[in-house]
Amino acid sequence: METLGNLIQKQIEKASTPKKYDGLHSELHGLIHELRTEYGETAKTGPGSFGFYLGKLRRVPLQTIYMWRSEIRQSRDAKNRGKLFWWKYKQWKKPLSKSNPPRAPVEASGRGRKSLQTKLTKN
């Protein structure tokens, strides 16, 4: 018979391990998979497909995507959460102007991460 301490320890370990999905290679892939299932996207090609999400979001910092996702989850009035997500992406992508402050440097999810870190530390 297991003790209460062992059961709690197992639950903590289970919660702290990241979710694994077959065929998904990075944190971005896993996040896109979760977003698509959360927003009910089932398209195989075109808008709403995995490749569509990946193509659009690969240059967006993961922190920003997580922030959008949490803001959308907290919004109670949102009728179509997928549309709200893409509206947030569109606002982020708008050309910079006085009314649109500069966005954070792109922290690529894989490619160029070391080069970005060295550029930031050299300055």
pLDDT at 25 over 90: no
Cβ atoms 6, 14 nearer than 8 A? no
Phi/psi of residue 85, nearest 5 degrees: -60, -45
**Six token digits for residue 119:** 């550029």
The CA–CA distances, whole Å, from 6 to 11, 59, 92 equal: 9, 42, 46
Q: Which long-range contacts link 29-38 to residues 24+ away (Cβ below 8 Å)?
A: 29/54, 31/62, 31/65, 31/66, 31/69, 32/57, 35/65, 35/69, 35/85, 38/69, 38/81
Q: Provide the pLDDT for residue 74.
A: 92
- The pTM of this model reads 0.60
pLDDT in tens, 57-110: 998 999 999 999 999 999 888 889 989 999 999 999 887 666 666 666 555 455
Closest CA to 53 of 69, 61, 41, 63: 41
Task: Give the Cα separation of 32 and 115 in Å (integer).
Answer: 25
